[in-house]
Structure 1
Amino acid sequence: MSMYRPVATALAAALCLLTAACGSSSEVTASGSTTGAAASKSGYPVTLDNCGEKETFEKAPDRVVVMNGASVAEVSTLLSLGLQDKIVANQQSYGMSEVPGRAEAIRKLPTGDVQLNEAYDIPRETMFGLRPDLVLSVTTYGFDEKNGFATREQLKQVGANSYVSPQGCDDDPSKMTVADSYQLLRDMGKIFNVSERAEKLIAASEKNIAAVSAKVKGEKETPKVMVLFSNMSMGSNDFSSVVAKGIINDILAKAGASNAFENASGTTFADLSKETVAATDVDAVVVIAYNDPDPAAYAEKLLKEFPQWPAARNNTYVTVSDSMYLGPSNDLAVEKIAKSLHPDAF
């Protein structure tokens, strides 16, 4: 599948899938304009410093619009926190998930009957017509006026807050780690006054990752892994959807592996020739499915194409989907990859 720039950017943000003037994108600050008793009882007001913008919430949002961005981080985070009833229009979907029932739950969400613009997201006037009180975007790209989108200031003028996910401020997901997924959960927990729920999800994920990492820590081998999207073209070479940097490298490290192409690019994706790929030792392949119904077939075809790889000789590959991106389920990717590459440790 060929990808236009907006989709590729947002995928990168979601690795995000895939920005960080704000580092961890937000901080909760005190608001002195409301009495302490009222604030402590209701949890509001909450003020976030998000990509240089002050966003104050007087109550939990009731009309949330989730912009496309080829991400599922934001909608999956809302679902994991039990906030699906707050969504009036969702444009995010990958068609599959490591979490049972999540893809189906996303498909059932309202879309607002939105006609996307040439930048593959919600145009300005359509956004206003949805009457949102919170708009979520993977990166600041989703609030860029020249792309036909409503700006954050324009949204404020109609009474809507806005939020850019962690590492979305500079549109540079190459720095992203699993900690950014936790930051997204925490921020949504604060905005919707469900922080306890968010912290339980984070604690469970951290516990699972720690247990997996402890099991693979003593393994002598650290497999070199090729991570790429199945049946996707994002550049001019044969292998233009190979991941070089970002949250995926953090996931690999926690699973006892390393990225064979980490140094192939200074950005999230590497655009590689077949010759370069053939000349690299690859111990295992991780194929990320983006609306691909049969990523295993793609992985098997790839291994046949490069029989010299140790991965091909041992038929070692893993297929994953949304757990490899920014979002609430990174621990599932860590566990699945670790069990495939280090079966004797489990």
Structure 2
Amino acid sequence: MVARRLRIPITAAVLLASTGCSNATPETASADGDPVSSPAGYPVVIENCGEEFTFLAPPERTVVMNGGSVAEVSTMLALGLGDRIVANAQNYGISEVEGRQAEIDALPTGDLDLNDAGDIPREAMLSLRPDFVVSTYDGGFAADLGHATRDELRQLGANSYAPAHSCAGDVAEGTPSIEDSYELITDLATIFGVEDRAEEIIQTSRAEIDAVEALVADAEEPQVLVLFVGMSMGSGGLGDVGATGIWNDILARAGATNAFASASAGMFADVSLEQAADASIDGVVIVSYQHPDPESEAHRLFEEFPQWAASRNEDFVVLSDSIYLGPSNAAAVEAIARMSHPERF
């Protein structure tokens, strides 16, 4: 579903009746029932994954769960909200954005013992006393996975959020696109009251992507393999091959096509070595997740499949956070376009 950003209307009559003046700050009740004065522009109501969450003020104690993502923490940093994070579990160890990895490394982690999935277990989460928890997907609030539920967080006085496209039951509604990244940016900016920053980020991203699309317009689209290294999402002989994901929109904007987009209805495809050998691969995108030497993975493929055009020309690019949901998709579009159409740059 699509998150709705709604501001609760406070009528002049209510303000006059409660305060005797028309420009007073409205008072609402906190989780423990005490009156709380909301700053200008608040309260804010967000609909997320079928529930509504009321923010009386911008969150001050945000916890960012892992989920194998850096989309949420990168978005908060891009919005200038790093000081609102009390514990961050997201980290790829690399970023296409200059200075971004250093920013992530500098964030507090809460000194938590993560569970086997590398995420924050229920008791550890509750001990942090957050007022806002961000997850990569709605399963980050699933009791059967050992996480604090949305209801438990509410009782603690904390709101919760997951990107709209990853809400349970909604993933099948369509392949994520760059527009979903913009929605994530807008949602978090609305929650924290920094919509002007979101508008600037999105406008800049659109302009950069439009410029690349103009450069590669009408060019023949190469077939590109998207291979994730350092993960374990697939079981095929080729490794973790990207199938249905935001990367397909990124590739299209860069004037390229995913060679295995139809290999699976899910995010990752199991591609056998035989299928890989028969495929026409003009370029390779290596997506690194805490891999010590991602470039070696490209060279390994080139040695194993010398018949590929990509192997003959050694056409590859290493990416990390920019090819996922988040504020940096323009970097991935340009990098893939430069690999695919160097003559246009």
Is the shorter-chain TM-score for this pair beyond 0.5, marking a shared fold? yes
Q: Deviations over 1:10-38 (max 9, x none)?
A: xxxxxxxxxxxx1x3x1012424675954
Q: Kindly state the Cα deviation for residue 116 of structure 1 after the two structures are TM-superposed.
A: 1.0
Q: Which residue of 2 aligns with 1:87?
A: 85
Cα deviations across residues 105-146 of structure 1 (Å, max 9, x unaligned)? 101110111111234311111111101000000001100011
Matched, 1:42 2:19: no
Which consecutive unaligned segments of at least 5 residues does structure 1 have?
1-21
Which protein shows a greater Rg?
A: 2
Q: Aligned residue for 1:186?
A: 186
CA RMSD, 1 decimal: 1.7
Shift of 1:41: 7.1
Q: What amino acid does structure 1 have at the position aligned with 2:4?
A: E
Q: Deviations over 1:179-220 (max 9, x none)?
A: 01100110111111100001000000000000000110032x
Moved more, 164-173 or 49-58: 164-173
Write the distance in 2 (CA, Å) between the matches of 1:189 and 1:236. Answer: 38
Q: Is the 8 A contact 2:317 2:339 kept in 1?
A: yes
Give the match for residue 196 of structure 1.
Answer: 196
Matches within 5 A, 1:103-122: 103-122=101-120
Whole-angstrom distance in 2 between the partners of 1:263 and 1:124: 38
- What letter is aligned with 1:149? H
CA contact under 8 A between 1:68 and 1:120: conserved in structure 2? yes
Write the letter of the residue equivalent to 1:183. Answer: E
Alignment of 1:1-346 (within 5 A): 22=1, 24=2, 26-32=3-9, 35=15, 38=25, 42-170=40-168, 172=171, 175-219=175-219, 221-346=220-345
Partner residue in 2 for 1:5? none
CA distance in 2, matches of 1:325, 1:286: 13
Paired AA for residue 293 in structure 2: D
Contact 1:94–1:290 (Cα < 8 Å) also in 2: yes
User: What one-letter code is carried by the residue in structure 2 that aligns with 1:96?
Assistant: I
Identify if the C-alpha distance between structure 1 residues 278 and 233 changes in structure 2 by more than 3 Å, giving closer, same or farther.
Answer: farther
User: Contact 1:233–1:239 (CA<8 Å) still a contact in 2?
Assistant: no
TM-fit CA distance, 1:167: 1.3
SS in 2 for 1:121: coil
Amino acid aligned to 2:115? N
* C-alpha distance in 2 between matches for 1:253 and 1:176: 13
SS in 2 for 1:179: helix
Shift of the alpha carbon at 1:303? 1.0
C-alpha displacement of 1:52: 0.4
Question: Using CA pairs below 8 Å that are at least 6 residues apart, which structure has the higher relative contact order?
Answer: 1
Q: Distance in 2 between matches of 1:143 and 1:192?
A: 21
Whether the aligned pair in 1 keeps the contact of 2:7 and 2:42 (CA below 8 Å) is no
- For residue 230 of structure 1, report the CA deviation from its aligned partner: 2.2
For the 8 Å contact 1:31–1:45, the answer to whether it is kept is yes
The 1:154–1:233 alpha-carbon spacing in structure 2 relative to 1, beyond 3 Å, is closer
Indicate the percent of aligned positions where both proteins have the same amino acid: 51
Distance verdict in 2 for CA 1:313–1:101, change over 3 Å: same
Query: Which stretch of the first structure deviates more once superposed, 228-237 or 98-107?
Result: 228-237
Between 1:192-201 and 1:228-237, the stretch displaced more is 228-237
Work out whether residues 225 and 257 of structure 1, in 8 Å CA contact, stay in contact via their aligned partners in 2: yes
How has the CA–CA distance of structure 1 residues 215 and 45 changed in structure 2, closer, same or farther, with 3 Å as cutoff? same
TM-score, reference length from structure 2: 0.90
Structure 1 stretch displaced more, 233-242 or 142-151:
233-242
Q: Which amino acid aligns with 1:280?
A: A
